[in-house]
Structure 1
Amino acid sequence: MVDALGRDRVQVGEVARRLYSRDASVIRGGRAGVICFPESTREVSACVVAAVAHGRAFVARGAGTGLTGGAVPCDEPVMVVMTRMNRILKVDAQRRLAWVEPGVVNLDLSRHLAGTGLHFAPDPSSQQSCTIGGNVANNSGGPHCLLYGVTSAHVLAVEVVLPDGEVVVLGDEDGDAAGYDLRGAFVGGEGTLGIATRICVRLTEDPPEVATLL
Structure 2
Amino acid sequence: MAELVAALAPERVRNDGAERSLLQRDASVFEGGVAGPVCFPTSVEEVQAIMRIAAKHERGVVPRGAGTGLAGGAIPLGAPVVVAMTKMNHILGVDTENRVAWVEPGVINLDLTKHLAPYGFHFAPDPSSQQVCTIGGNVANNSGGPHCLAYGVTAAHIVALEVVVPSGDVLMLGGLDAEPVGLDLRGAFVGSEGTLGIATRIAVRLTRNPPAVRTLLLS
Bin for the TM-score computed over the shorter chain: over 0.9
Deviation above 2 Å: which 4+ runs of structure 1? none
Give the counterpart letter for 1:9 in structure 2: R
Unaligned runs of 5+ in 2: none
**Structure 1 residues 146 and 22 mapped into 2: Cα distance closer, same or farther (>3 Å)?**
same
Query: For the residues of structure 2 that align with 1:116 and 1:47, how far apart are their CA atoms?
Result: 37
Matching of residue 18 in structure 1 with residue 21 in structure 2:
yes
Structural RMSD (CA)? 1.1
- Aligned mate of 1:49, from 35, 40, 52: 52
- Aligned mate of 1:40, from 38, 43, 48: 43
- Aligned mate of 1:199, from 197, 202, 207: 202
CA drift of 1:43 comes to: 0.4
For 2:7, what is the secondary structure of its paired residue? helix
Q: Cα deviations across residues 33-70 of structure 1 (Å, max 9, x unaligned)?
A: 01000000110111111111111100000000111111
Give the counterpart letter for 1:14 in structure 2: G
CA drift of 1:22 comes to: 1.1
Matching of residue 138 in structure 1 with residue 141 in structure 2:
yes
Number of equivalent positions: 212
Any conservation in 1 of the 2:25–2:33 contact (CA below 8 Å)?
no
Query: For the residues of structure 1 that align with 2:214 and 2:82, how far apart are their CA atoms?
Result: 48
- Name 2:180's counterpart in structure 1: 177
Matching of residue 165 in structure 1 with residue 146 in structure 2:
no
- Name 2:129's counterpart in structure 1: 126
Matching of residue 94 in structure 1 with residue 97 in structure 2:
yes
Identity %: 64
Matching of residue 208 in structure 1 with residue 208 in structure 2:
no
Query: For the residues of structure 2 that align with 1:12 and 1:181, how far apart are their CA atoms?
Result: 38
CA drift of 1:175 comes to: 4.0
Any conservation in 2 of the 1:118–1:205 contact (CA below 8 Å)?
yes
Any conservation in 2 of the 1:156–1:175 contact (CA below 8 Å)?
no
CA drift of 1:29 comes to: 3.9
Compute the TM-score of the two structures, normalised by the length of structure 2. 0.94
Any conservation in 1 of the 2:28–2:72 contact (CA below 8 Å)?
yes
Q: Cα deviations across residues 96-134 of structure 1 (Å, max 9, x unaligned)?
A: 000000000000001101121111000000000000000
- Aligned mate of 2:74, from 71, 75, 98: 71
Compute the TM-score of the two structures, normalised by the length of structure 1. 0.97
- Name 2:159's counterpart in structure 1: 156
Matching of residue 187 in structure 1 with residue 190 in structure 2:
yes
